Homo-oligomer: A and B are copies of this chain.
Amino acid sequence: MALREDAAYNDITSRSIFNAGEVSAANIISRADQVLCGLTVARRVITRFDSSNYVEVTAKDGDRVAAGTVVLQAEGPTISLLGAERTALNFLQHLSGIATLASRYAEAARQTGTGVRIVDTRKTTPGWRTLEKYAVRCGGCFNHRSSLGEHVLIKENHISAAGSLQKAVQMTRAFAPHTAKIEVEAETLVEAGQAVDCGADVILLDNMSPQQIGECVTLIDGKAIVEVSGGIGLDNLADYALPGVDVISIGALTHSAPAGNFSMILGDRQGA
């Protein structure tokens, strides 16, 4: 589909100029110090575009590479390589952008020394969830639930409809698969305490200050996984990664990562 939207089979410039029988080598090169993701997808784009293209991947998803590193080598009809170029690069730059941002969060988490785990959210580009969550893992972070169907997350709306947090937990426990954990969003210390009492598996402390979070951690006391979210970035991550905070979820990982930077360089041409 991506190749079709680029009219990649009808590149009027290259088809004007290159002989159909001409064959080239081409390298995809990293233009920055970045973490790779999407090499397998890029290879599939190039070989699906023309099954006579040969592709060798010279690095792995998850590798951190310096600017100038060759990450993929291809050989095939010049027209096919140029036709697939932009689409392959677009996959690579989008996913590597996410992996690279994730790697910065993962490094920041490591530096806190608390063992906190950085996770993504469901704030993904529609159509891209599986790939973007894979990119997050390539960057060294972790995944939150992938969909509404596999994990319970009780928010304020649910509590008010159920009548109380306790009832909400009971209702979801009675309905949801026994394989689903139950997470409760708490906005105050009182709610966090109620969540513990109800046996929540995970407690999400949303939009709290570090101080409030500290109090909640003390109260929860290891009886549930503590997840924190809201207003957290690379600059203030250390403030929120208090001992006892297990997980910090960051929407920006998938929705606001700047693109990675790659280009394709054509090498020797034969049969011109």
A-to-B contact residues, CB < 8 Å: 1-2, 5-18, 22, 78, 82-83, 86-87, 89-91, 93-94, 97, 117, 119, 122-130, 133-134, 142-155, 157-158, 161-162, 168, 171-172, 174-181, 183, 202, 225, 227, 246-247, 251-252, 255-256, 258-259, 266, 269, 272
This chain: copies in complex: 6
Check A172–B125 contact: CB distance below 8 A. Answer: no
A228: shortest Cβ distance to chain B, in Å? Answer: 12
Provide the residues of chain B in CB contact with A251, threshold 8 Å. 259
User: Which of B83, B89, B179, B247 is A145 in contact with, Cβ under 8 Å?
Assistant: B179
Check A148–B202 contact: CB distance below 8 A. Answer: no
Check B93–A11 contact: CB distance below 8 A. Answer: no
User: Which of B78, B129, B168 is A17 in contact with, Cβ under 8 Å?
Assistant: B168
Check A150–B161 contact: CB distance below 8 A. Answer: no
Check B82–A175 contact: CB distance below 8 A. Answer: no
Provide the residues of chain B in CB contact with A171, threshold 8 Å. 16-17
Check B149–A10 contact: CB distance below 8 A. Answer: yes
What are 12 A-to-B residue pairs whose CB atoms are below 8 Å?
Answer: A12-B148, A78-B161, A82-B157, A90-B125, A93-B255, A117-B178, A143-B177, A144-B177, A150-B150, A150-B179, A178-B227, A180-B181
Check B179–A181 contact: CB distance below 8 A. Answer: yes
Check B161–A269 contact: CB distance below 8 A. Answer: yes
